[in-house]
Structure 1
Amino acid sequence: MQFPEITPFSVPTATMNKDQTHWARPWHGFPNSRGLGSFGDANCMEQLLVHCANAIESSDATVAQQILWVLNNTAPPDGDSNQRLTCAFLRALVVRAAKSGTCKMLAAMANTHCNLSIDIHTFSVIELASFVDLTPWYRFGFTAANAAILEAVEGYSVIHIVDLSLTHCMQIPTLIDAIANRLKGPPLVKLTVAGGGTEHVPPMLDLSYQELGSKLVNFARSRNVVLEFRAIASSYTDGFSSLIEQLQVQHLVYAESGAGEALVINCHMMLHYIPEETVSPLSNVNSNPYSFESLSTQSLRTMFLKALRVLDPTIVVLVDEDADLTSNNLVCRLRSAFNYLWIPYDTVDTFLPQGSKQRQWFEADICWKIENVIAHEGLQRVERLEPKSRWAQRMRNAGFRGVYFGQEAISEVKTMLDEHAAGWGLKKEEDHLLLTWKGHNVVFATAWVPA
């Protein structure tokens, strides 16, 4: 990641000596440089970020600048994990101030003295495959989902997989490998993806979905599996309405023909981009795409899940990050994000050396997420994670019931975790699986069938 180059901010000339290029003195009530060390713990940094957010929201430029000075001197972009985390939030708050214009002096400082761009890497297929293998963050969901899918589609000669994945089908080759080894012979596999759904959300890929599809078809052929690939132009912004419409048409065709086809809906860290109830105004989104109730009474997430239920899928696998970033209150959102996103910064120190390209890419993705959560509002704020409990309630309300992950799935996840740092763990809650880091929930995996 090209982490933001946040150098010590300049200040109004009234508080700076004529010949100085650094602070003449900190404002009253804040420590001098020798006393800054006590501000380095995560709790203190979180409190300073909260005070800074409040100052920006109330257009109190003086207090905001005071706090920014302290944070800028205690949270270097090349520091420890807490400092790098705080630096990313500091940058996001400056971006918010610059966007809103509520603190004109801060906006001027941001534009003049700070490089606020994030260098997001665009991956080749090989790079992305290697990138997602770095940690269990994605591999956990891949492993749990593939095990559940294989069990659900046993005995079917045709398997239709609808892959809604943030990682551009990186899960699919492993699933094809497993399908190819089935004792009764490999079935026909149909793969449908929402092409262009997250083209501006990292990680980003350097080729089109048509090109990706060709690579997957060739890979499947090398494993003696017949794969049909289809990319449908559909986006999360309207709840994948185009995708749902085409799936509904196909569902009617197969229902009339009586053909036996397993329908697998694989949702991997994608559904939280669909707008939910706190988005305002939802009227900007295509109204009523699934012929359910109006948007005033249901969110697009609810409508999407109910549309899936009508399709009567064989299994729906839902994997996502276990956090709540939906609050319309900036401070609540900041606290929630800070107390969740310390995890990737902490984990990266265990497996990637400082200065490595992969570490830069990894932290740039987190930095992008933090900026989206903190600096943006309305439909531009797409990082709207919901915790496992809320997704489970949504699924039940849409007419699904949870199914247990078998012992084989649990064993495979544990084997995968053994390949990574000792801080990773597995927790089972009811019929769900949870990836943990040092005991803290990170990613959940759930499997559902029509009730």
Structure 2
Amino acid sequence: MAFEEGPDFNLTTYHHSLLDWSEDSISFVPSFLDYPYTLHDAIAGYECWTRDQDQANLIHTPPSTTPAVAPPTTSPPSLPQPEFSKKRKLPTSPTPLDKAAAHENRRRTVADSGDEGDGVSEEDAEIARKQGNGRKGERKGNGGNSGNGNKEVRWAEHLLNPCATAIEAANYSRVHHLLYVLRELASTSGDANHRLAAYGLRSLTRHLSSAGIAAAVGVPAQGSGPADDSPSFASTEPKLFRSAIIKFHEVSPWFALPNSLGNASILQAVTLDSNQRPRPLHVVDVGVSHGIQWPTLLDALSRRPGGVPALVRITVAGAATPPGPFSAAPLGYDFSSHLLRYAKSIDLNLRIDRADTLEPQTMSLARSETLVVCAQFRVGHGGPDDRTAFLRSVRELNPDLVVLAEVDGGGAGETDGRFPAEFGRRSGLLWKFLDSTSAAFKGRDCAERRVVEGEAARILEWGAAADEGCERWRGRMVGLGFREEWFGEDALEAGRALLRKYDGNWETRMAGAAVGLWWKGHRVSFCSLWKPHTRSQ
């Protein structure tokens, strides 16, 4: 079904939102080729940011004039490798966690001998209290530092992952002990370790409840943990949801970089189609942007030297994939009317549809249009068979271009399916997200950060292709009849310009023809371009 243009809206009420696209909003929707995703004006005045803080903490790159998009070069382009910040040395003296682990080994040995019950000793409780006190300073906002002042210490995983292993081994005494320590340290407003402990504790508690063994390890009723009432996308009020996703794109490249690369490549596909007015453009949106990705593309199309497409269609087809983190939106949120209004303000003919499947008969495809499928962070949910089936349906659409972005777990996808291994991979991915948002929000706790982190934490239960790397996805695409394409230089330059405005721990690395996004030397995601080997006309 097609969405008609929505009614007028109060621009004063929604002046902080990128989705309020009107005649006045064009001033802060710059081209992604000039100054990608610079939404400084859109976030000014949010509750945990002030203008002085923005100017002191955000690095702004002056707009530059970028040449028109050119066809891909024959030789593989590469992105410059930014210099890493020096890593801090790990402390040589025992940390509170080391002491806790050593004491736990002693306590467990005694417990196994039958001389001690399942209770927690006074020394354990004191260690937990001391580590818990260390997190209070983080609530005042000191970046991504852990309670002991060292960014590289990931103590939460050294409690969560052994707990998952103990659950699998039915070692209830150890599970009881580790859950107690986690409850003492968990906090959704502490540093990245404390927040990971909170979300991991909730996930483990739910796993124990679903397995019917919660009572055996003394797990309290659900709803008593610090993360149990944390917001998610679906549970958030629409206005806060809008401000959260806009602000997250402003301070983090997690989704903004793949969006920028995808938009630049779509514009290139339109430009290469004809030197005159291009064919109508049809973008199938299978992503998590909730409309945020498209204003910069529409703006660039409206300023295209060869003329704008006679019609731009966006078909939102997220329902064609299994649900997962970042895929949901709150009831009452609809970006369509705002996006249509913005398109009208720049004299661009836009149509927005929705589709529950990718069957050609439901997509209203036309031979005369340039068809692009943009699949961003949605295909990786469900099992391997689900991923293959979806990509096969994409191939049957016979598109001109496919933009595929996914989490890069670095592995080959060979898993034993056991709970500890799966939980460990997912908690590792969540750690990178929470650690990067600590830097992105400068350690400040605010409603927008809680929304995006609460949604990201769903990966611990919903799962994702956190075990699969770029090579596994490449093999899957090639096997289905796609060939990989290189990004054009303009797309790569847009990515470089975008990344310069974020924290210095972010970097991009080429993974063959794909562009990989890394955080502190660890893989996060990749973005790649694909075309069918042979495309019927």
TM range (shorter): 0.7 to 0.9
Given the superposition, is the C-alpha separation of residues 111 and 176 from structure 1 closer, same or farther in structure 2, using an over 3 Å criterion? closer
1:133 to 2:227 alignment:
no
Q: Which residue of 2 aligns with 1:160?
A: 282
- Supply the AA of the counterpart residue of 2:285: D
- Supply the AA of the counterpart residue of 1:220: A
- Supply the AA of the counterpart residue of 1:307: S
Q: For 1:425, what is the secondary structure of its paired residue?
A: strand
CA distance in 2, matches of 1:344, 1:382: 15
CA distance in 1, matches of 2:459, 2:428: 14
Q: Using the TM superposition, give the Cα deviation of residue 363 of structure 1 relative to its aligned residue in structure 2, in angstroms.
A: 1.9
Q: For 1:177, what is the secondary structure of its paired residue?
A: helix
Q: 2:375 aligns with which of 253, 267, 275?
A: 267
On the 8 A contact 1:162/1:265 being kept in 2, the answer is: yes
Q: Using the TM superposition, give the Cα deviation of residue 84 of structure 1 relative to its aligned residue in structure 2, in angstroms.
A: 1.8
Q: Which residue of 2 aligns with 1:310?
A: 396
Matches within 5 A, 1:189-200: 189-194=312-317
Q: Which residue of 1 aligns with 2:191?
A: 80
Greater RCO (CA < 8 Å, at least 6 residues apart): 2
Matches within 5 A, 1:275-314: 275-277=382-384, 299-314=385-400
Q: 2:231 aligns with which of 113, 119, 138?
A: 119
Matches within 5 A, 1:38-77: 42=153, 44-77=155-188
Q: Which residue of 2 aligns with 1:94?
A: 205
Q: Using the TM superposition, give the Cα deviation of residue 264 of structure 1 relative to its aligned residue in structure 2, in angstroms.
A: 0.3
On the 8 A contact 1:53/1:331 being kept in 2, the answer is: yes
CA distance in 2, matches of 1:302, 1:334: 23
CA distance in 2, matches of 1:112, 1:301: 34
Q: Which residue of 2 aligns with 1:359?
A: 449
- Identical aligned pairs, as a percentage? 26
1:244 to 2:359 alignment:
yes
On the 8 A contact 1:60/1:103 being kept in 2, the answer is: no
CA distance in 1, matches of 2:189, 2:388: 42
- Supply the AA of the counterpart residue of 2:200: F
CA distance in 1, matches of 2:289, 2:527: 16
Q: For 1:243, what is the secondary structure of its paired residue?
A: coil
CA distance in 2, matches of 1:330, 1:24: 24
Q: Using the TM superposition, give the Cα deviation of residue 58 of structure 1 relative to its aligned residue in structure 2, in angstroms.
A: 3.7
On the 8 A contact 2:166/2:175 being kept in 1, the answer is: yes
Structure 1 unaligned residues grouped into runs of 5+: 1-22, 235-241, 278-298, 373-380
Q: Which residue of 2 aligns with 1:26?
A: 120
Given the superposition, is the C-alpha separation of residues 216 and 79 from structure 1 closer, same or farther in structure 2, using an over 3 Å criterion? closer
Q: Using the TM superposition, give the Cα deviation of residue 342 of structure 1 relative to its aligned residue in structure 2, in angstroms.
A: 1.5
Q: 1:445 aligns with which of 504, 514, 527?
A: 527
CA distance in 1, matches of 2:436, 2:422: 22
Q: Which residue of 2 aligns with 1:414?
A: 496
Q: Which residue of 1 aligns with 2:264?
A: 147
- Supply the AA of the counterpart residue of 2:337: S
| Higher helix proportion | 1
Q: 2:302 aligns with which of 173, 176, 180?
A: 180
* Cα deviation code 1:155-181 (max 9, x no counterpart): 232111101111222211111111111
Q: Using the TM superposition, give the Cα deviation of residue 435 of structure 1 relative to its aligned residue in structure 2, in angstroms.
A: 1.3
CA distance in 2, matches of 1:112, 1:162: 39
Q: Using the TM superposition, give the Cα deviation of residue 194 of structure 1 relative to its aligned residue in structure 2, in angstroms.
A: 2.0
- Supply the AA of the counterpart residue of 1:317: V
Matches within 5 A, 1:305-384: 305-323=391-409, 327=415, 328-352=417-441, 353-370=443-460, 372=461, 381=462, 383-384=464-465
On the 8 A contact 1:61/1:105 being kept in 2, the answer is: yes
Q: CA RMSD in A?
A: 3.0
- Of 34-43 and 211-220, the range deviating more from structure 2: 34-43
- Supply the AA of the counterpart residue of 2:358: L
Q: Which residue of 2 aligns with 1:213?
A: 336
Q: For 1:205, what is the secondary structure of its paired residue?
A: coil
Q: Which residue of 2 aligns with 1:393?
A: 475
* Cα deviation code 1:359-407 (max 9, x no counterpart): 211221222222x1xxxxxxxx353443222111111111001111111
CA distance in 2, matches of 1:409, 1:27: 58
Normalised TM-score (structure 2): 0.64
On the 8 A contact 2:179/2:201 being kept in 1, the answer is: yes
Q: Which residue of 1 aligns with 2:60?
A: none
Given the superposition, is the C-alpha separation of residues 341 and 326 from structure 1 closer, same or farther in structure 2, using an over 3 Å criterion? farther
Q: Using the TM superposition, give the Cα deviation of residue 204 of structure 1 relative to its aligned residue in structure 2, in angstroms.
A: 4.3
CA distance in 2, matches of 1:384, 1:429: 17
- Supply the AA of the counterpart residue of 2:252: T
